[in-house]
Amino acid sequence: MDDIVVMPKPDWVSWDDIHELLLAAHKKNIEKGIVMNTVTFSGDKIKEYLGKDGRCYVAFCGDKLVGTTSVRIDMGKKWYNKGLKIAKEGLTAVLKKYQGLGIVGEMNKCRDKYLDEIGVEALVGDTAEDNTIIRKLVADNGYKEVRYFPAAHQNHNSVEFVKWLNGCPFSDKYIQRKFSISKRLTKLQYKSGKVERSRILSVFCSLMRKLFSI
């Protein structure tokens, strides 16, 4: 880590540079068809997505850009974050040669200083259902899986996870129940690629989501 420098994205690193790094770092997953939507964002789309309060962080080895992560700031509207100021994590990538060096952790430390300053109450992220490495990593770091949802135009579904910074307000049993219901409804309503099975099933699943506040 002695040669790694982490910082907020400087102006001389372009949004297109971030886009190219994301594609390079996620190349194998892209080839397998495991692609999170934000990974394919153009540079301009990344900037727009983060908005005025969002932030991007980068890691360098010498003068080489080797890692990045970002947060988008929102107000929560779902059962697990309603009324909370949240940071949506994503756009995270480290080039393969530099993985395993703790770079993501260092970028997160830099990010967390900003989140603390603006009073963020929960961190939210998501990943492909098949990305077992990330799912285990976030679970080991105190995140809870709260929602299962379809990934449009992809051959996988996705899992959303949350870490409450002021302590988890729900029991594990309650969280698991909510997650299980969302998974069952998603499987019932959609085929791969967010393709509806039928209009009737979609209406039924929509009513069930309202009933269970999913």
Q: Where are the domains of the chain?
A: 1-71+88-101, 121-214
Q: What is the CA radius of gyration of the chain?
A: 18
Of the CATH numbers 3.40.630.30, 3.40.50.1010, 2.40.160.40, 3.40.309.10, which one belongs to the domain with range 1-71+88-101? 3.40.630.30
Among residues 187, 127, 192, which one has the least CA distance to residue 160?
127
Q: Which residues have a Cβ under 8 Å from the Cβ of 22 and sit 6 or more positions away?
A: 39, 41, 68, 91, 93
Q: pLDDT 10s per residue in the chain (214 long)?
A: 568 999 999 999 999 999 999 988 887 766 666 666 677 788 999 999 999 999 999 999 999 999 999 999 999 999 999 999 999 998 988 998 998 889 998 999 999 999 999 999 999 998 888 888 889 988 998 999 999 998 765 677 899 999 999 999 999 999 999 999 999 999 999 987 788 999 999 999 999 999 999 9
Residue 89: count of CB within 10 angstroms of its CB: 20
Beta bridge partners of 159: 127, 148
